[in-house]
C-alpha cells in the first residue's frame, strides 16, 4: 500500500481525485484503486510535551529548576485530534511506502514528518510539492515527486522554530511570572518568542 498523507481533509480529497481510479471514503481516509490510500492531518496531530513530561518536579513553578532544557524532545497527541492520529498511525504501520503531501513550506513538511518519526517509519518516502490544487497541477506534481529525504532541512528548520518557541515560552513565562508575583502582582505573565517582541513594537 502506498500511503499519501495530506495536511488537511480538503487537500486529501483533491489528491485522491487526481490520482485517478475508484475513490472510496472511509473514516479518516480514502482508498483509491487497489493500492493507494489517502489520509490527512488536521494541522499538527502532535504537540510538544509539557515540562512535567520530562520531570514530575516541573509541575511546580520553581526558579531553582530553570532553565528546563530537554535532552530528548517528547511529543504528545494533540487532544482534539487524537482520533485522527490513531487512524494515520495505523495506516503508517501498514504502508510499504509513504508520500508526504504537506503544504509546500517548512511547517507543512514538519506536520507529516513528525508523524513518520513518531511511528518510527523507516520505509521509502516521497515528497509531493504542490503549488496549486487543481487536478492538472496535482498530476504534474505527482509526476515530479522527489525523495522526502531531500526536504529534511525544511523539517529541521521547523523543528528548530518549534523548540525555540517552547524553550523561550516555558522558561521565560515561568521566570517572569514568578518575579511578577514576588513584586505583589497576580496572574501569569506570558512571554513568547514572537508575541512579546511584536507586542513591544505595537506599544
pLDDT digits (tens, 9 = 90+) for 68-117: 999 999 999 999 999 999 999 999 999 999 999 999 999 999 999 999 99
Question: What does the pLDDT read at residue 197?
Answer: 92
- pTM, two decimal places: 0.92
Q: Which residue has the cell 507543512?
A: 108
Mean predicted confidence (pLDDT) in 24-52: 97
> Under 8 Å CB-to-CB from 115, ≥6 apart: which residues?
5, 41, 45, 46, 85, 88, 89, 92
% pLDDT > 70, the chain: 100
pLDDT digits (tens, 9 = 90+) for 107-139: 999 999 999 999 999 999 999 999 999 999 999
Rounded Cα distance, 45 and 83, in Å: 9
- Helix, strand or coil for residue 54? coil
Amino acid at each position: 500500500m502506498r500511503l499519501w498523507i495530506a495536511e488537511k481533509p480538503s487537500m486529501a480529497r483533491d489528491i485522491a481525485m487526481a490520482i485517478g481510479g475508484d475513490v472510496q471514503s472511509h473514516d479518516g481516509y480514502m482508498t483509491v484503486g487497489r493500492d493507494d490510500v489517502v489520509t490527512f492531518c488536521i494541522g499538527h496531530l502532535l504537540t510538544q510535551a509539557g515540562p512535567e513530561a520530562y520531570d514530575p518536579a516541573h509541575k511546580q513553578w520553581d526558579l531553582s529548576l530553570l532553565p528546563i532544557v530537554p535532552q530528548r524532545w517528547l511529543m504528545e497527541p494533540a487532544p482534539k485530534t487524537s482520533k485522527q492520529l490513531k487512524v494515520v498511525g495505523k495506516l503508517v504501520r501498514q504502508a510499504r511506502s509513504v508520500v508526504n503531501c504537506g503544504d509546500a513550506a517548512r511547517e507543512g513538511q514538519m506536520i507529516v514528518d513528525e508523524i513518520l518519526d513518531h511511528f518510527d517509519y523507516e520505509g521509502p518516502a516521497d515528497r509531493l510539492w504542490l503549488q496549486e490544487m487543481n487536478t492538472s497541477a496535482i498530476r504534474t506534481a505527482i509526476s515530479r515527486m522527489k525523495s522526502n529525504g531531500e526536504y529534511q532541512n525544511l523539517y529541521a528548520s521547523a523543528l528548530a522554530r518549534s523548540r525555540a518557541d517552547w524553550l523561550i515560552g516555558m522558561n521565560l513565562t515561568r521566570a517572569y511570572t514568578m518575579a511578577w508575583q514576588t513584586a505583589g502582582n497576580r496572574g501569569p505573565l506570558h512571554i513568547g518568542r514572537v508575541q512579546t517582541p511584536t507586542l513591544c513594537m505595537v506599544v
